[in-house]
Amino acid sequence: MRMKDLLTSIQNIQNEAIAWIFNGNINKVKILEGILEALTVEQRFSHLRCSFQLHLDHAADSNPIRRLISVSKSDQYLFILRSEKLYTQFLCQSDLPSEYPALRHSMSLFLLSRRSGIISQSKSILINYIPITSRMDSLVDKVLTAPIQFQRIFLSWRRGALFLNATCICGERWHRGHIPCLPKPTLTSKHQIEFVKCREERSKNFCELDYLLNVQEWDLAFDIIKLWQKTLDEVKITHD
């Protein structure tokens, strides 16, 4: 099996695992990856390869792994360990420390910055609604730190699945474009000012609920969801 085929097989398994964890659609796995800040298998391998090479470069010259890699052939998996572009980029940085512990720290910061860059380049509108300030040091969405009773419903909103099969009060099938149809949330003056600033940097469907999740106002966010759920439930009763 070629390395590309192997990575594809592992990627498929990872996609299925993430979709299962979220009880979501595997076709929406990019959004789920963005919430978890889960790298693709190929990206993860590249990052692990960097850490491995740093360790190997500071291992004893007699380390047998060095020879195994150096004599590997192109049709062997070990051959791919001969070089790594990301590691070369790391070494090209200026003012790298000479001591191994400090180098390991620099490597961690370097890889973290690359992961942050991957998030910032996401083409998902929903993922772009989650700023770096609303992520943990590991870059996982802080919604995963919300009280357990809120997590499932908040994550459902984050991935665009909440109210998915509901009918809007305007009579059409509900989607985020119908947010203006629902009761407008009331924010404090401070939150309203900050929300307006945030919305200017994002698309028109960025709403108060997105903002409150980003600033970890869990109770206020849940109150909005309850209000909107009640509104949509009343529409369902009327139509039934």
Residues 9 and 120 in one domain: yes
- Return per-residue pLDDT of the chain as tens, 240 residues: 577 888 899 999 999 999 988 888 888 888 899 999 889 999 999 999 999 999 988 888 888 988 888 888 887 778 888 888 999 999 999 889 989 999 999 999 999 999 999 888 888 899 999 999 999 998 999 999 999 999 999 999 999 999 988 999 998 999 999 999 999 999 999 999 999 999 998 888 999 999 999 999 999 999 999 999 999 998 876 655
Residue 69: its pLDDT value, please? 87
Relative orientation angle of helices 3-22 and 41-57, to the nearest 10 degrees: 120
Of 125, 160, 188, which residue is a domain's last?
125
Q: What angle do CA 156, 162, 164 make, to 5 degrees?
A: 135
N- to C-terminal Cα separation, the chain: 56
- Cα separation, 176 vs 228, in Å, equals 12
**Structural domain of 79:** 3-125
Of 125, 155, 175, which residue is a domain's last?
125
Question: Which helix (H) or strand (E) covers residue 163, if one does?
Answer: none
Which pTM does this prediction carry? Answer: 0.84
- Residues with Cβ < 8 Å from 78, sequence gap 6 or more? 68, 69, 72
Residues 60 and 104 in one domain: yes
Residue 199: its pLDDT value, please? 92
Any domain includes 31: yes
Residue 27: its pLDDT value, please? 83
- Cα separation, 114 vs 120, in Å, equals 10
- Whole-Å CA distances, 156 to 56, 121, 190, 196, 208: 43, 23, 27, 24, 16
Residues 150 and 113 in one domain: no
Any domain includes 135: no
Query: At which residue do the structure tokens 């659609």 appear?
Result: 25
Residues 187 and 110 in one domain: no
Of 80, 97, 125, which residue is a domain's last?
125
Residue 75 identity (one-letter amino acid): D
- Residues with Cβ < 8 Å from 141, sequence gap 6 or more? 35, 36, 37, 130, 134, 135, 158
Residues 117 and 197 in one domain: no
The residues with which 173 forms a beta bridge, in sequence order, are: 167
Residues 174 and 106 in one domain: no
